[in-house]
Amino acid sequence: MKMVSSDCIGADRSEPGSRRRPESFDDYADEVLRTIEAAFVIVRRASLKVEKGPKMQLRETI
């Protein structure tokens, strides 16, 4: 497993719109997990829209 240096973790405060730098590895891990969970929610919602879309169109044409 490749180790990430502490310089790479978090955003640079001088960048506009940057978020705060995580205080510890646990904070960084929590932020990564929140990001992954949010991505799963987005993908799930998109897949539900795809599942609903064609069925509703099919019903309208029948």
| 17-28: pLDDT as tens digits | 566 676 788 889
pLDDT of residue 7 exceeding 60: no
* CA–CA separation, 35 and 6 (whole Å): 19
Q: Residue 10: which of 24, 21, 26 has the closest Cα?
A: 21
pLDDT, residue 17, reads 57
Q: State the pTM of this model.
A: 0.45
| 28-58: pLDDT as tens digits | 999 999 999 999 999 988 887 776 655 555 5
Contact 18, 12 (CB under 8 A): yes
